[in-house]
Amino acid sequence: MARQARQRVPEGPAPDPAVQKLRIRYTKRGRLRFTSSRDFQRALERALRRADVPMAFSAGFHPHPKISYANAAATGTGSEAEYVEISVTQRVDPESVRVALDEALPRGIDVVEVVEAAPGALADRLEASDWVLEFAGVPLEVLRAAVEGLLALERAEVTRMTKSGPRTFDVRGAIVMARVLGPADALADTVTSHVIEGDCAILRMVVRHTTPAVRPDDILTALRETADLQPPRPPLVTRLAQGPLDTASARVTDPLE
C-alpha cells in the first residue's frame, strides 16, 4: 500500500480574517495614463503599507494582500473611473482610508471615493464604459461621417491579435451610443473633471462590456476599415465612467451606489 504523502503546512499562525471590504474609485490622469496595470498594482500595495491600512492576506506559503482589480483601462488610456476592492482585518472609516491612500499615491492616480462594499461582485456591476476620444487634426464633418457610417452597419468585424492568436469579433453590437461633438459642445457634454485639450473633434460613446472586450482601439480599427478614417496621430482616449448600464437613457451609472 502506497504511503500517503504528507501535506506541507505553512509554519506560523493563520492570517487574520477579513472583516470588511472596501471599494475604491481612482483616476489615471496626465502622464500616469501610461502606467501599466502591473505598475499600478505595485504602487497601490506600497501606498496601502504607507497608509497603514490593516490589509487581509491570503493563506499559504506566499501570502498576498487581498486585492481584487476590476476591468482596468489599457496602458496609454486615461480614466476617471477605475475600480479596485480590498479586504481589511479591522473595521475602518472609508473616508479616512481615501485621504490616506490619496496622499500616498502619486499625483495623477487620485483616489476619488472609498465606500464599504455592497453584496455581490464588483465586476458584475461594470456593464459598460463611457468613453471620450479627442481627434486632433481631424475635421468635425469627417469624423461625423465615419461614425454615422459605422452606426449604420448591422455588424462591423475586426481582428485583434490575442495571446491565443488572432481573434475576429463584432464591435458594432457593443456600441450603445456614439455622437460627434465640437470642443465647445463637449465641455458641456462631459464630466467637469475632464478637460478637453485644444481644438479637436470629439467622439463620445457608450460601449457595452462584452466577451471579448471591445476596446476603443477596436472601434478605431473599424472606423479605419469601414470609412478609411486615418487620424494624423492617435486620439487621446479617456474613460469617463464605467458601471451599470441604463439602457433606456444609454447612460452609465455609478457602480458604488
pLDDT, tens digit, 9 for 90 and up, residues 148-163: 999 999 999 999 988 8
Q: Greater confidence, 187 or 38?
A: 38
For residue 45, name the pLDDT band (cuts at 50, 70, 90): very high
Task: Note the pTM of the prediction, 2 decimals.
Answer: 0.89
Q: Tens digits of per-residue pLDDT, 70-124? A: 999 999 999 999 999 999 999 999 999 999 999 999 999 999 999 999 999 999 9
The three cell numbers locating residue 27: 483616476
Higher pLDDT, 13 or 210: 210
Q: What percent of the chain has pLDDT over 90?
A: 82
* pLDDT at residue 2 greater than cutoff 90: no
Q: How far is CA 29 from CA 44, 76, 92, 190, in A?
A: 16, 10, 28, 15
Predicted local confidence at residue 191, as pLDDT: 47
